[in-house]
A and B are shown apart, each in its own frame.
Chain A
């Protein structure tokens, strides 16, 4: 694995390997000294063209925990605001000879373009409505920690699938790992022909009791102004997942940030069945694993290597 651009870059074995690795890193995070020297002397650039809290902070921290030097560039307040093109910005940053560039960009394919322009390993931290592979991997990790394998499990993804890169990566990732994926939402927010990617499509929550996991997507207020839904109130009435709609064995996930009382009831967030905190915690370990696999593991996918490599002593 040279880059992580899309879930399609991985197979089941590679995912399992990454998650095994993440488990060892989760261990490290429980130590007093949380740093390992794996990437000492190497440079990791984070390049964020969109606002982000979880993803940018956890990638940054992941790189630092691996002892890399980290340069964080945000579009606002940088030369991007002066009209510098993506290519020129990236070539400028390449002068620092980064081992990896982690990019978030509002347009699909930006990460792929970087991979064609520079030698660094490219990690897609979200490109337009296209892909967000590290999110899907951390979701898989959180699920594995809680319920083990998701093979044969039923997972419902509910909400604004149309505008969601998380949904696109997760449909692929969940299906690849053997889960049955159903997507549910108002027809205006379901992409045309999405069933071709192997998921079932529903226009309501009837039947949601079959789901082992309910994965909720953020519902943005702009969707109302764009006439995708008549009102957020009606959306919440039809699609909000709250305790009344769930039975105790069902798990709930959400990539954040949540709109309490819109797509998700506050009672669910505060309950045991909610994995949101697990997801955030998984982010750090999984992103350490991604950087480690790309930079410290000779570009080999884990599937081709021996079991987890012992992690070095604290730096």
Chain B
């Protein structure tokens, strides 16, 4: 008889031990002394000015400012007035490998993430072809071990080639290293298929991340349905396209005891669905993007598809305010960028014909800091926490500055002002929703799993 497994097993797809979830290119371990920066790690209760010494890639000491001396070969950063946060984690990025490397690849994608202060990301599986076989997961992990400047985890699709009809070999995919499953880019239209996947998940583990929209209701929509779409004559995607699918899928997950992550929440009705499901005890987590926190469909009036066309679409001011409230009250678990690079020729076409998606890794912190923290709408602590906890739904603990932990941190100048795109991007694509905007707060240095993954060119390090 098959044994009955309650809930998600801690490890193992069936029997085997799972590989480490994230993969990075090996490199020299950092030896850095950051002097006098303001540390902020809300989860660990660390706040205030400290010296932080990193040796062999590990936070070896925290001490009063000015009290630590650098040993031989230790780089010193005089960081008075700067901030240090635990590095961020993004559970939702599109790195386009394999098949669409002209938009992004694992090298440029991870560089882009590092430039945004990230020390971990999870790549979506809607590549070309989609990631549906264990061999593909192995190949991606192998590639990442050669070129990824920060650790990357890979998802596999829920259904074979994202066709929505047959399940992938979820157990073997887990054994090969898939951190979770998603058909992101497309909804799982069939309730029956999602139900089977969630049943099977009880054996394999691996949260299923869901792109929620009802294709029947979205139709050929290209922006939020509302006053702006009516005036512009663009076909609308109604908010109920998202919320009704969340309601359906939360009910299925609740019934089967499955674990789901709702991706890129955009609408007020969707938040209500999440609240209800959480109250009912469903294992449901959810993300919001920086652009949905900062912009509304009013931005689409410029018909600039490069900056303002994405799926789900930008919605109204009341949706945006509700998303902020839900972030504050904990209904929304984390901030995820849905970093979606596209080539210029895919965006420099009339709005309706353009690809959906915007890049966001390099501006996630600065955009929300500028739009929401500086005006006092949310606290810096909340922003740091919500940018940092995106791995939890996939079993990856947030990074910390605590002594003895691996060095995963970013050094940030909150006073710096910069124009997005002025000095180019680390990403291969330029479809940033912030392009040309002036933002406050800039990532200067990122350490990822003990390695220096990024340093801003204009910010040099001195060697003691």
Q: Could you list which residues of chain B lie within 8 angstroms of chain A, going by C-beta atoms?
A: 225-227, 229-236, 303, 345, 348-353
Interface-facing stretch out of A128-136, A214-222, A246-254: A128-136
- Chain A residues with CB under 8 A of B345: 85
Q: Are A192 and B234 in contact (CB under 8 A)?
A: no
Q: Are B349 and A86 in contact (CB under 8 A)?
A: yes
Q: Are B348 and A191 in contact (CB under 8 A)?
A: no
In-complex Cβ contact of B229 among A109, A112, A113, A191 (8 A): A191
A85-B345, A107-B353 as given contacts; A130 in contact with B236, CB under 8 Å: no
A85-B345, A112-B303 as given contacts; A128 in contact with B352, CB under 8 Å: yes
> How far, in whole Å, are A109 and B347 apart by their CA atoms in the complex?
13
For A63-101 the 0/1 string (1 means CB < 8 A from B) is 000000000000000000000011100000000000000
Query: Min CB distance, B240 to chain A, in Å?
Result: 12
In-complex Cβ contact of A110 among B233, B235, B350 (8 A): B350
- Chain B residues with CB under 8 A of A191: 229-231
Query: Any chain B CB within 8 A of the CB of A194?
Result: yes
Query: Min CB distance, A293 to chain B, in Å?
Result: 24
A105-B350, A109-B351 as given contacts; A196 in contact with B233, CB under 8 Å: no
Query: Min CB distance, B11 to chain A, in Å?
Result: 49
Query: Any chain B CB within 8 A of the CB of A307?
Result: no
Closest B residue by C-beta to A130? B233
Best-surrounded residue of B230, B303, B348 (most CB of chain A within 10 A): B230
A–B pairs, 17, beta carbons within 8 Å? A85-B349, A86-B350, A87-B349, A108-B350, A113-B348, A127-B350, A128-B350, A129-B233, A129-B234, A131-B233, A191-B231, A192-B225, A193-B230, A194-B231, A196-B227, A197-B227, A197-B231
Query: Min CB distance, A28 to chain B, in Å?
Result: 34
Q: Are B303 and A168 in contact (CB under 8 A)?
A: no
- Please name the 4 residue pairs, one residue from A and one from B, whose CB atoms are nearest each other, closest first: A129-B233, A191-B230, A107-B350, A109-B303
> How far, in whole Å, are A196 and B232 apart by their CA atoms in the complex?
13
> How far, in whole Å, are A196 and B229 apart by their CA atoms in the complex?
12
> How far, in whole Å, are A108 and B231 apart by their CA atoms in the complex?
11
In-complex Cβ contact of B350 among A113, A131, A192, A196 (8 A): A113
Q: Are B352 and A87 in contact (CB under 8 A)?
A: no
Given contacts A108-B350, A168-B231, 19 further A-B contacts (CB under 8 A): A87-B349, A107-B350, A107-B352, A107-B353, A108-B233, A108-B303, A109-B303, A109-B350, A109-B352, A113-B348, A130-B233, A131-B233, A165-B233, A191-B230, A192-B236, A193-B227, A196-B227, A196-B231, A197-B230
Closest A residue by C-beta to B223? A108
Q: Are A193 and B234 in contact (CB under 8 A)?
A: no
Closest B residue by C-beta to A164? B233
- Chain A residues with CB under 8 A of B230: 191-194, 196-197
For A98-131 the 0/1 string (1 means CB < 8 A from B) is 0000000101111011000000000000011111
> How far, in whole Å, are A112 and B236 apart by their CA atoms in the complex?
20
Q: Are B351 and A107 in contact (CB under 8 A)?
A: yes
Query: Min CB distance, A5 to chain B, in Å?
Result: 10
Query: Min CB distance, B226 to chain A, in Å?
Result: 5
Q: Are B232 and A192 in contact (CB under 8 A)?
A: no
> How far, in whole Å, are A110 and B349 apart by their CA atoms in the complex?
8
Closest A residue by C-beta to B352? A107
> How far, in whole Å, are A110 and B225 apart by their CA atoms in the complex?
21
Q: Are B236 and A128 in contact (CB under 8 A)?
A: no
- Chain A residues with CB under 8 A of B350: 86, 105, 107-110, 113, 127-128
> How far, in whole Å, are A230 and B186 apart by their CA atoms in the complex?
30
Closest B residue by C-beta to A129? B233
- Chain A residues with CB under 8 A of B234: 108, 128-130
Best-surrounded residue of A110, A165, A168, A193 (most CB of chain B within 10 A): A193
- Chain B residues with CB under 8 A of A127: 350
- Chain B residues with CB under 8 A of A107: 349-353
> How far, in whole Å, are A193 and B231 apart by their CA atoms in the complex?
9
A107-B351, A128-B350 as given contacts; A192 in contact with B231, CB under 8 Å: no
Query: Min CB distance, A205 to chain B, in Å?
Result: 22
